[in-house]
Amino acid sequence: MIQNIALLLLFQLGGELASRGFGLPVPGPVLGLAALFATFIAVPKLADRMRETTSGLLSHLSLLFVPAGVGVTAHLGTFAENGLALAAALIVSTTLAILAGVWAFILTAKLTGATGDD
């Protein structure tokens, strides 16, 4: 498990160094994700070895958002001023984005014949 966590951190670190070193617009952890994905394709055994650790971490993904979410208490001033407008923008925009995504997915799947699941 420690080996797997070390690997995750190593990929994140590599991503951060590449992102900051080259001034890339893509954040470090996302570059780390892409690099680890490429490594799994090259070394399939590694994916099996890391499965338990990664699925343990991902099954508690919600928890990791709690500390930043509590930050809402530090921004009550902004929300008092713009709260209704920001809430309306968030709710309507998120709903529209889900609808646009679902419809575009289904439409493109129909057009390209990529319907049905395995």
Nearest approach, Cβ of residue 88 and another protein (Å): 6
Among residues 3 and 81, whose Cβ is nearest to another protein? Answer: 81
Query: Per-residue string for binding with another protein, 91-110, x by CB under 8 A?
Result: xxxxxxxxxxxxxxxxxxx-
Of residues 48-87, which lie at the interface with another protein (CB under 8 A)? 50-51, 53-55, 57-59, 61-75, 78, 81-82, 84-87
Of residues 5-24, which lie at the interface with another protein (CB under 8 A)? 5, 8-9, 11-12, 15
Interatomic CA distance for residues 61 and 22, integer angstroms? 29
Which string of b and e fits 6-43 if b means at least 16 CB within 10 Å?
A: ebbeebbeebeeebeeeeeeeebeebbbebbeeeeeee
